[in-house]
Chains A and B, each alone.
Chain A
Amino acid sequence: MNDQIIFEDVSKFYGEVLGVNRISLSIPPGITTLVGPNGSGKTTLMNLMTGLVQPSNGRISVMGLSPANSPELFRMLGYCAQFDSFPRGINGWDFIFDSLMLHGMSEAEAFELTQEALERVQLGEAAQRKIAGYSKGMRQKVRLAQAIAHHPRVLVLDEPLNGLDPMARAESIALFQELGRQGMHLLISSHILDEVDRISDRVVLITGGYLVAEGSIKQVRQEVREKPMQVLIRCDQPALLAAKMFSVNHCVEARLHTDGRGVFIRTGDIDQFYSMLNGVAAEGLVKVESVAPADDDASAIYQYLIGSDGGAS
């Protein structure tokens, strides 16, 4: 059986709103993290691979199976979705036990697996209480327990560390790492970037519905480095600065700000750009007031992944 999760030219539109566009990905076993700002398409990708939404174009295959109405797939897939809601009036134990019974297990088997899953997430006796009375962290734990209870081969986790206290977060990360070592597919979305490095074998960088980069942290760092970045420089002579900057190879675009007091520079080499800007400022040709990245949230992620010294932070 194919052990990859494959997206082939997958697009998803919600009416006229873009979810993701022309995503092609091949994800091998191990821990893969989806990174991107809110609304970038991470949850859409996860919902697509679990069949909760269907692609407008393209094809998805999870371990050789199509996610559309595929009971076979859900025997080996667990999804801990971001939706913080549960069937009304249910307690933690029944929530997991009922879902296991839908796999066609005997009561004894479901009982054993429920107990095991609850122990793994350390929910203990709280499982007998109604979920409605749980804290956010406990609800996150019971969702995680339900997703792993049937021993899936693919585990999809949408922001699984949200709402967890530092101790629970460390325990969850240890659990993910253990599951990854066991050869399981783990696809995790996260915006807590300092945790990405620690738990991921691979990262997939997505923004605005587009795949920006994918691969190991090292590969992504290289890919991102090669992409032009846009910077806004506020100064007294933007036209002069634009002319100066545009004369060098790494500056691919220079555009004056509409208020006439700044210039957008798109550069393929941010280090050289800063060094040249320092030179211009030192010569006193232009009085620079401020310099700021103009790529919104994604740029922050790029900067993080690249690291200020060129190494992963």
Chain B
Amino acid sequence: MMDAIGNFPRHLALQPWGLWWIQARRLVRIEVRRNLFSLRASWIYFLAFIPTFIIFIHFIFEAHHPSWMSDDTDVLASVIQLYYIRLGVFFGCLGIFSRLIRGEMIERSLHFYLLSPVKRELLLLCKFVAGSFSAVLLFGSAIIADFTLMYAGFGVAGRDYVFAGPGLGQLEGYLAIIVLACLGYGAIFLLLSMTFRNPMPAAMIVLGWEAINPVLPSLLQKLSVASYLRHLMPVSVSAHGLLALLTVETEPVSAWAATLGLLVLIGVVLLYSCYRIRKLEIRYSTE
């Protein structure tokens, strides 16, 4: 046992890291091309940019008085917490990540990857990286566009809010949340798509789980992406009625603890996914 631990650094050094790097770059390139530049991706563009379009209409047609800026700040925070995290990123990641493995099994093309001289774990991680990159690129761009359009109408006051006030910090916070949401939901949907022939019912259960999570015991709350993200919101959202359930903070958690907790959750899910892909068999006739 001690020998194995002692030899681990040497074992790591002997791995073909250079080759893996070349393979990873190529795999990510292939996957990103397919994720972003296909007709099938159009509805994910729609999910990402529909609020941008609405905010653009607001920017063009509505008056912007500096005293209304705090209202718009709340609206933006609500759009991010209630739309992007709960729906947009959720379904966008469902579309992107469930296609990475299951989609290729349905299209009967996964065997080309499994027959290439690439370790299956590397293949899975590269698909995850490519999916995350695609999702972050789409939703991150949408958030930046939303933010810009939301404050552009306020002229000098808006510029001051962004560059001399809390604006830029909030944008960084939103982007961090989007990155973590894409990673978190991405890992979960990648695993679900490898576990179930049709991941949609399981995804709906996850959606329900995320919704009722705040009323669950604190141990179970740790098994939720949205619960970690709630603690990272730079602007707290005051929602009413049923929506309040989605924004409530049951237990104060520091930002670093929430980030670390979510990263651990993602790590565990990816580790289990690596185990699953080692055992994966190609049986297209059952798809």
Contacts and interface: CB of A to CB of B under 8 A. Distances in A.
Interface string B105-140: 001110110111111100000000000000000000
Interface string A142-159: 000010000000000000
A87 interface: yes
| Interface majority SS (helix, strand, loop, mixed), chain A | loop
A47 B282 contact: yes
A229 to B, nearest CB: 31
| Interface majority SS (helix, strand, loop, mixed), chain B | helix
Interface string A74-92: 1101010101011111000
A63 to B, nearest CB: 14
Contacts of B22: 101, 104
Interface in A46-81: 47, 50-54, 68-69, 71-75, 77, 79, 81
A52 B285 CA distance: 13
Contacts of B115: 50, 52, 74, 77, 79, 81
Nearest to A79: B115
A99 interface: yes
Nearest to B99: A88
B278 A102 contact: no
A178 interface: no
Given A72-B117, A74-B115, A75-B117, A87 B26 contact: no
B141 interface: no
B30 interface: yes
A81 B34 contact: no
B283 A102 contact: no
B211 to A, nearest CB: 34
B281 A102 contact: no
Contacts of B67: none
Contacts of A194: none
A47 B40 CA distance: 30
A87 B282 contact: no
Contact size range, A? 20 to 34
A99 B118 CA distance: 10
A53 B282 contact: yes
Contacts of A51: 114
7 contacts: A51-B114, A74-B116, A77-B115, A88-B107, A98-B26, A98-B30, A104-B22
Contacts, number: 75
Contacts of A54: 279, 281
Nearest to A52: B282
Given A89-B34, A102-B23, A104-B19, A83 B117 contact: no
A103 B116 contact: yes
Best-surrounded residue of B40, B117, B284 (most CB of chain A within 10 A): B117
Contact of A102 (B34, B111, B116, B284): B116
Contacts of B278: 68-69
B27 interface: yes
Contacts of A101: 22, 26
Given A47-B282, A53-B283, A69 B111 contact: no
Contact of A88 (B34, B111, B116, B119): B34
